[in-house]
Each structure stands twice: as C-alpha cells, then as structure tokens.
Structure 1
C-alpha cells in the first residue's frame, strides 16, 4: 500500500503548464513578505512556503483540467497560509491556530494584494469545516481537499520534497 501511495505522489510537471502557473503567481512570489513564508515550518520539515506552493500547484492543475478558475486557485492556494508566524510556538489570544489563521492570512494578503472574491474565499475558508461557513466557490472546495491531502502527506512524511523543490526551483 505504501508503495502504491508513494507512486501516486509524483507530480508530472510539463513546462508549458508550469510556465503558465508561474505567470499566475509571479507578482506574489516577487514579494519579500510572501517569500518570508519560507522561514516558518508548517508540517515536519516542510516550510510554509513549500506547503503553499505544493497546494497551489496541485490545485491549479486540477482546476485547469476541470476548466475552473485556475488562476484564482493558484493565487489563493499560495496565500492560504499567509499568517507569517510559527504556529508551533506562537499562541494568540484570538483562539486556536486552526480556527483563526485563515483570517490572519486574509488580512495579511489584503494589505499587499488586490484579491478577487474567489481568492478571498479560498484563503478564509480553506480550513472548512472548522471555519463553519461553507465555501462559496468550487475552486475553494478544491483547495480545501488539496490542502488536507498535502498536509496529511507532509505530516506522515510521504510528501516528496524533490517534487516540491522542482516546483520551486524556477520560481525563486
């Protein structure tokens, strides 16, 4: 079973769609505050930036294949965990991280970027059902499930870091 699961984790990155993906997020990845996400560990040895790129690219690929708004999926996926603190050590008075970080991420993203409604929904509702309010857009549902999939793989150390590094290699 583990071998089967690992075989399914290898992303196929074709240069045409990857170049298109990079165009969707290029203004975000040029921003130093976005780049600072690489300073915070998300799951095990995966940084917040690595996790967000992983979620962003897989969501972009799925939405592109389904003729959904793949640009918003790529951008919302990249910013979904834009909370900018180490959640393992930082405790806030607002409540538990799992419930509150989507609102912090949206506030941070709104300060730096003009977001469309789909991107905002993705960021603030990516933790559904914890966020209680149902996602409004089909792209948000894609992010919800892809985020949980990636987080699971990262948490049980099945995420292929080489794939994530390949995704990031031409972005930065």
Structure 2
C-alpha cells in the first residue's frame, strides 16, 4: 500500500471515528491533518541509514515538509507532530489529534494483517 493510499484510508477512518467522538471536531483540520500526517517524502521500506529510525522521526519530517508546502493551523500541526503517540512521548493536545492517533493505528494494523 502506498503512503497516499494509507493517508486516504486514515482520513476516511478519522471521519468515521469523529461521528462518535465527544465534543466538537474541526472536520477541515481533521481531514487536512490526516492527509498530511505521513508527508515525509521518502520510501521507508528501502533500507537506508537516513531513515533507520523512521518510527520515531517521521512525524517531525512530515511536519517540516507540510509546513514548507502548506499553511497549517495549530490543530493540524499538533496532529502531524503527535500522531505516533505513544512512540513519540508527548501526548496529543486536540480531539482531532487523538482521533488521528486512533485512525492511524487502526489502519496500520489492518494493512499489516492484510499484507501477511
């Protein structure tokens, strides 16, 4: 599965989860953050020293690239930066970030099981 396909699946899952999440959800930020959460612009499947620590570093790489190419609000930045929680230890600040954390893990789990 490509990063593009994964990001679309995560955005769809975010919308499904948001229906049941308590409180107001900024749907525009939710979708934008979900689509950009893995905007790291390299193929992490190819062995390379520069992305040896992909699981820990890619959220920061994605945020740096997204900030360069798009105007992001605080929610979107938090979503991208913290979507790997708890691997990255700082917890999400916004509902949208928590939704993305859940959606990304659900989709990644499904993709992993489907692949094997």
TM-score normalised by L of structure 1 = 0.61
Q: Contact 1:125 / 1:134 at 8 angstroms: preserved in 2?
A: yes
Larger Rg: 1
Q: Secondary structure at the match of 2:55?
A: helix
Q: Contact 2:37 / 2:62 at 8 angstroms: preserved in 1?
A: yes
Give the distance between the partners of 2:96 and 2:60, measured in 1 at CA.
18
Q: Secondary structure at the match of 2:114?
A: coil
Q: Which has the higher contact order (CA 8 A, sep 6+)?
A: 2
Q: How many residues align?
A: 113
Segments of structure 1 that go 5 or more residues without pairing to the other structure are: 1-45, 159-172
Q: What is the match of residue 17 of structure 2?
A: 62
Segments of structure 2 that go 5 or more residues without pairing to the other structure are: none
Q: Contact 1:59 / 1:70 at 8 angstroms: preserved in 2?
A: no
Q: What is the match of residue 49 of structure 1?
A: 4
TM-score normalised by L of structure 2 = 0.89
Give the distance between the partners of 1:97 and 1:148, measured in 2 at CA.
16
Q: What is the match of residue 72 of structure 1?
A: 29
